[in-house]
A and B are shown apart, each in its own frame.
Chain A
Amino acid sequence: MTARTAAQRTGPARSRRRPRTNWRDPWRLAGLLALLVLVIFIVYPQLWIVRAAFTSDSGAFTLARFGAFVTDERFTRPLLHSVVVSLAVGAGAAVVAVPLAFVMARYRIPGRQGILTMLTMATTSPPFLGAYAWLLLLGSGGILTKAAKGVGLPLPFDSILGVGGIIWVGVWFTFALIFLMVYDAFRAVDPALEEAAASVGSTPWRTHAKVTLPLAVPAIATGCYLAAMRIFADFGTPMLIGGGYQMLPVVVYQNFMSEVAASPSVAATASIMMVLVSGLALLAQRRIVARRSFAVTGNRDQPLRELRRGPKALVLIGIWTALLLGFVPHLVVLLTSFLRWQSGILQWEPTLENYRRLFEESLQPIVLSFVLAGIACLIALVLGVVVAYIVARKKFVISGPLLNNLVMVPYILPGTVFAIGFILAFNHLPVILTGTALIIVVAYFIRRLPYVMKSIETALGQVHPSLEEAAMSVGAPPRRSFRDIVVPIIRPAVISGGTVGFLQMITELSATVMLYAVPWVTMTVVIFTNAMQPGSPFGVASAMTTVLLVSVYVPLYLLRRRYRTVSL
């Protein structure tokens, strides 16, 4: 039967007209505009990287540099290190985040709103000083290390310095990211699915293992991917506490920025290797997400269940411990901002001197940071929604995958490298941006677009297409159904994605430092210039960091309170 129809089918099918590109679809135009923006601000500036990687020292075309990556230990080792550390961080952060997210999503936990708000806050680590804080606590001469030695407590390590330290810092730096994604997914699982499993005799834990967890897999995969990539692209952490442990971003950075023997072509090659590796990771993530894209179509709210006393206490201890560890950098910075520093050395004397010196200078950086990150965030949201919608919903043959891949490129480019590309591209006609504040805005939104876009894409994955079709069927044109149905449903995700994006923008340092010009001095630049040399006045940097964190956390708190009803 099947064979017969198959045979009959082949003839007429060929002559049938192919579905034609519908240029009247407004998403087409939006997609093309988005593509244009990405090409101008991602492809064009970074083209020179590609060029350098394929150019030999004499200027001829070569592939030899890539050969070195497979054969030369100076590259293979950092490559391996980077992959291992990224995987370890992704896995470690998931191990911390997933159980906590599950419990928070299902059980009545006292202080849940506060915890959720703090978790959102924990996605932002104090720029630059984060890893340093851990060193201050758990380094060889660290406060806790010394204290432990003092009371004769054996520590499993002499110092946090090294690969273990990178992973440790990475886990606490990223677990909140995974938590937020997975939490939303757990909340969205239709209870009917779990009830169905229970009704066929599945025990609660079996149900969770066989039904709930698999439904959250796309969110877990996306969260792990983002966490792993954040470490994969981070050069600050390994530089600060790697203790010489070689990772790829460090290789890239050193070869670009070395005082002694900068070798942009090697750096470019390493960058392309990073793009390739992260491309593979993206592919894996997308596979996992695509395979189960509409599994979660909850229409009924998850009821919150009561926990017995014992387990509840345990859960609370777990959550607050994780939060505490996530906030170690913040707390250390806060504490040290009220202590005297001398030539970069912490003195245990309380003082307000750091703040006095900070406020002696102008407060303009605070306002400026908000304005620049605010504008960039709005642009990223608009662009993020467009790209995410096209990627998640439209089957555009060319622009869909192109957008999806392009948008992720900045995620894995080290900020400094990214910035150099910007200067090379935008310091001459046709587009001059250098020396203006605009270049920072563009750098912000392009660099943080991947996160914003991914979080919106995840949210869209949970809006079943039939919701939009239902609107169309009662007379809403696509634009209208998008506005009335899709936007309100994904609004909590857009807001939380936008918020985290904003936090990441306002704390952006590595690209800003290469791009800023007076008078466009941001808060992070102030932090950085007061902490860039070993003898610098770290106290002022700590004070500025505290001001920065407080000034982003207050609006964040208000925003969360405002949208509490929606996101829960």
Chain B
Amino acid sequence: MDISIRGVSKTFGETTALESVDLRVPSGRLATLLGASGCGKTTLLRIIAGFESADAGGVHFGELDIAKVPVWKRRIGFVFQSYALWPHMTVAENVAYGLRLRKLPKESVAEKVAAGLAMVGLTGRDQHRPGQLSGGQQQRVALARALALEPDVLLMDEPLSNLDAKLRVEMRREIRRIQQETGITAVYVTHDQDEALEISDLVAVMNGGRIEQIGSPEDVYERPETTFVASFVGSVTLLRGRITDTSALALAGGDKVDFGRPLGSAGADVYVALRPEDLRIVENGDAQFTGKVVRSSFQGSVRESVAELPGGELLAFEHRRPLPTGATVGLAADRFTVIENDTGVA
């Protein structure tokens, strides 16, 4: 079941939460809504779920316009940030509740509950109360509950943000596995770019109530279309300048850098986004940039240092061997992205 969102807008009083948002999630794919808090991602998810209604625009599940379909008939599964398990029911009852509403026969309910709990690795916990489980276990129950009805669409609202870092990594792989096993179309809201990049088929980066870019994780990371996307997803240096001829950029600080490849039409003001891992230390003659190391940090597999260019710009780059602060380095970019669209930085 694919989801298409067309021109959805929403305001709360004086604040605009969503502004003419379009998004299509193909059947069986997992799309992430990625953005900082207040960007509208949760609102969009809640509109898809039916907890909120859009002021304008529409949401389709397949061919069906769901504007008039209330939440309880939408065939969705929803996983909440706060788990939202019902404290007065056991784990099994939580999972079974929706099935019982459908008036399924007892045996089939029991079967599905057992299967659901097995899928999330909670076999044997069915008689526990939510209050007796850890946060990670509670979220597994919530996932089993959301999937028990075999919904058309699975919606997840920052489901891992209440968990600790290690568990978060484990759980997101779990979620991805289950999503792929069930082949369900899913929308996943998060502010964590690592999470988004790892589990998604499709990432929609949101900012100020708009979607700035939709694409595969690779697209979004390697080919950001706006400065916001570039800076929000991964670490990046944005160099601002004017294209002097097709392959050279005059930086704001006065330096001129030749990128060796066409950047665009001359005279245009652009940003060049450089990921730390795309820069390498080169001999002076091959260097596109020459700068002084101002700080350096050891990060295990690599070191990340920052070089200050003569014009004052700071450039982050990765390398292996230690570098003393104050040393002069020459750097060359293997890859870079030219961005014309200035939407600020995260």
Chain A residues in contact with chain B, CB under 8 A?
A: 1-2, 5, 8-9, 12-13, 16-17, 19, 192, 297-301, 464, 466-467, 469-478, 480-481, 484-485, 488-489, 566
Contact = CB atoms under 8 A, between A and B. Distances in A.
B168 to A, nearest CB: 15
B325 interface: no
A301 B132 contact: yes
Contacts of B97: 471, 474, 476, 484
Closest 8 CB pairs of A and B: A474-B98, A473-B78, A466-B84, A1-B344, A301-B131, A470-B84, A472-B71, A466-B80
12 contacts: A5-B210, A299-B83, A301-B129, A467-B84, A471-B97, A472-B71, A473-B72, A473-B77, A474-B148, A475-B149, A478-B72, A480-B72
Contact of B86 (A297, A477, A485): A485
A1 B80 CA distance: 31
Interface residues of B, number: 49
A5 B76 contact: no
A295 to B, nearest CB: 12
Contacts of B344: 1
Contacts of B55: 16-17, 19
Interface in B56-98: 56, 70-73, 76-78, 80-88, 97-98
Interface in B130-163: 130-133, 135, 138, 142, 145-146, 148-149, 155, 162
A1 B86 CA distance: 42
Contact of A469 (B83, B84, B138): B84
B304 interface: no
B80 A470 contact: yes
Nearest to B135: A192
Contact of B98 (A13, A469, A476, A488): A476
Contacts of A566: 88
Nearest to B73: A475
A476 B146 contact: no
A273 to B, nearest CB: 35
B101 interface: yes
Contacts of B51: 469, 472
B343 interface: yes
A9 B19 contact: yes
B285 to A, nearest CB: 40
B71 A1 contact: no
A16 B11 contact: yes
B49 interface: yes
Nearest to A301: B131
A13 B131 contact: no
A474 B149 contact: yes
B102 A475 contact: yes
Given A476-B72, A476-B101, A480-B101, A5 B208 contact: yes
B244 interface: no
B190 interface: no
A475 B132 contact: no
A477 B72 contact: yes
A299 B132 CA distance: 9
B53 interface: yes
Given A16-B56, A475-B72, A475-B73, A299 B87 contact: yes
Contact of B72 (A5, A300, A464, A472): A472
A566 B87 CA distance: 11
Contacts of B208: 1-2, 5
B131 A473 contact: no
A421 B162 CA distance: 54
B94 to A, nearest CB: 9
Contact of A16 (B9, B50, B78, B155): B9
A32 B191 CA distance: 42
Contact of A299 (B70, B76, B85, B98): B85
Contact of A477 (B70, B80, B133, B142): B70
B145 A474 contact: yes
Contacts of A8: 19
A2 B129 CA distance: 46
B224 interface: no
Contacts of B149: 474-475
Contacts of B72: 472-478, 480-481
Nearest to B131: A301
Contacts of A476: 72, 97-98, 101
A472 B51 CA distance: 9
A376 to B, nearest CB: 28
B53 A5 contact: no
Contacts of A300: 130-133
Nearest to A490: B88
B209 interface: yes
B180 interface: no
A469 B101 contact: no
Contacts of A473: 49, 71-72, 76-78, 146, 155
B80 A469 contact: yes
B101 A13 contact: no
Given A16-B11, A17-B55, A474-B101, A489 B71 contact: no
Nearest to B74: A473
B148 A464 contact: no
Contacts of A1: 208, 343-344
Interface in B17-50: 19, 49-50
A5 B83 contact: no
A467 B145 CA distance: 12
B297 interface: no
A307 to B, nearest CB: 22
B182 interface: no
A128 B154 CA distance: 61
Given A466-B84, A475-B98, A5 B16 contact: yes
Nearest to A480: B101
A469 B81 CA distance: 12
A149 B116 CA distance: 75
A566 B89 CA distance: 12
A401 B11 CA distance: 22
B87 to A, nearest CB: 6
A16 B9 CA distance: 9
B88 A489 contact: yes
A485 B84 CA distance: 11
Given A1-B208, A1-B343, A489-B87, A469 B130 contact: no
Contacts of B50: 472
B78 A470 contact: yes
A470 B88 contact: no
A470 B86 contact: yes
B71 A469 contact: yes
Contacts of A2: 208
Contacts of A17: 55-56
B77 A474 contact: yes
Given A16-B55, A566-B88, 11 more contacts: A5-B209, A299-B138, A464-B84, A469-B49, A469-B71, A469-B78, A471-B97, A473-B49, A474-B97, A474-B149, A484-B97
A470 B149 CA distance: 13
A298 B51 CA distance: 22
Nearest to A463: B87
Contacts of A480: 72, 101
Interface string B114-135: 0000000000000001111101
Nearest to A470: B84
Contacts of A298: 131
Nearest to A199: B164
A460 to B, nearest CB: 14
